[in-house]
Each structure stands twice: as structure tokens, then as C-alpha cells.
A = this chain, B = another copy of it.
């Protein structure tokens, strides 16, 4: 958390620790589950392997799973230059209105009543206008971030993209400004009069499970599994 006092020479201006709520980011129900805290939002984003990118085409919504990475207050989304959302952005364009959503399922909530069944989850919804990244340096940094988002530390341990590969990859940029997180945690919320019913009630926790890495068949036998994979 940055706590620089404004006006003190040599300090960085304090960044607000939360995103400002807007009409679109205040939920119509379960408002107590919403958060605008940057640390909460960023940790939910960083833990996800894919986001769901929503945009409008011919007046209808389209939602596509998409690789992404966060760099500070910016999301970079990955695509080929031929993919639909990327063809809709571009240097001359005003940008593409998008909604980017990330969700983790953390548990199954089994209440005694059908009505109170639920899912424990953490989600982030980002509204904004996406623009294609055209600056070569920014694009190169974004591609490193996309690789490091898959496994932290990996971009330094692989062959960087060459000019042809950079040209074949498109990246769109979405500034984090209109952002909210929503989470459900904890146990069942049964009605008091249901507590004596003879049904099991509780939560089944879910988590990501990683199996042992499978080496490529062409890999030299002595190649060690890198340390950044052992800590997954």
C-alpha cells in the first residue's frame, strides 16, 4: 500500500487503494459481496489462466475465452491478427467497448433447502474500451507478460518472439479503471426452521490441481524440470 504524503519532495504521488465505483460496477443485488480494493481485484485477476472477453458484434454479444496478463493498472489480451475482436480494434478506430470477466470456483455450497444452494466464487468484472497495441516496445513487454502469466519466470527461460512472430500476434490493451470484484465465501445460509431437516449440509472446497509436468517427446533426456514449475 502506498502511503506517500502529498507534497513531500521525492515521494511518488499516492495511488488510491481502490477503484472508484460506477453505475456499472455497483451490483443490483448482494452488494455486500462487492469489493473495489485493488489488492483483491489484482489477486483474482492474476490467479486466472483465462479471462472471458465480451464485445458486441452486429448488435449481439460475443463472449470468448482469451489469454491475458495484468501489468500494473493495464490488462493485455492476446489474439492473432485475424481474430474477430482484434480486427474490430485498430489504430484508426475509436476502440472496442469490452467487458472482461474472470471467475474462480472455490466451493460447492450444499444447503438443506434447494433455494440456498450456491457456489463459493471470486470474480472480477472490467468494463472499458480496448485498443490495439501498436508500439513495438509495449507489444514486446505485453507478450513477455502473457508468457509470465502462464508461469511466472518463464519469459526469461524461452526464446523471445522474432519479428515475424511479433507481427503475427496482436495484443489489445484495456486500462483498469471501471472494475469490481465480487466474492462469495463461507458456509450455508439455511433458514432457521430448516436446521433440523435430515439432509447433509456444508461446503465442498474446490481448488486447482496440478499433475506432474509431461516433458515434450523431443526434449533431451537430461533437461531438468525448471524450478518455477516445481512451485506450482
Contacts and interface: CB of A to CB of B under 8 A. Distances in A.
Contacts of A103: 50, 52, 65
A72 interface: no
A187 B216 CA distance: 7
A89 B144 CA distance: 43
B204 A213 contact: yes
A113 B232 contact: no
B161 A113 contact: yes
Contacts of A64: 101, 125
Contacts of A208: 206, 208-209
Give the contact-size bracket for chain A: 35 or more
B121 A159 contact: no
Interface string A151-181: 1001101111110010011000000000000
Nearest to A81: B29
Given A114-B158, A121-B50, A143-B114, A210 B215 contact: no
Interface stretch (A6-14, A131-139, A195-203): A195-203
A73 interface: no
A144 B114 contact: yes
B114 A160 contact: yes
Interface string A74-114: 00000010111001000000000111110101001011111
A206 to B, nearest CB: 6
What 4 pairs across the A-B complex have the smallest Cβ distances?
A209-B209, A54-B63, A54-B61, A205-B211
